[in-house]
Amino acid sequence: MDGSVTMVKLIKLMENAYEQKHPNIPITYRVPEGRPNGSNQGIKNLRENRVQIAAISRTLLPEESLQRNIKLIPIAKAS
């Protein structure tokens, strides 16, 4: 997983919850060093099959959603 720097706290909470339910399936937010690279790089890494999930803190651009059948799944909303 790679992506948004602003989502680190939320992603770490989700990562911990996932690891508790699925301890044998590793998950890393920004492989290999554990530091995310931002939304744009996360999407690029997803398109290049370097990660399976891109956490982004912006709306997908139309051309991004058409590539590799990328699908946006909202997990939080700013208030």
- Please measure the distance between the N-terminal and C-terminal CA atoms of the chain and give it in whole angstroms: 25
- pLDDT band at 50; cut points 50, 70, 90: confident
Q: Tell me what pLDDT residue 52 has.
A: 85
1/79: higher pLDDT:
1
- Residue 40, domain member (yes or no): yes
- Residue 77, domain member (yes or no): no
For 19-37, write each residue's pLDDT tens digit: 899 999 887 776 556 678 8
pTM score of the predicted model: 0.73
65/23: higher pLDDT:
23
Domain count, the chain: 1
Q: 38 is in which domain, residue-wise?
A: 2-69
Alpha-carbon span 1 to 39, nearest angstrom: 11
- Residue 76, domain member (yes or no): no
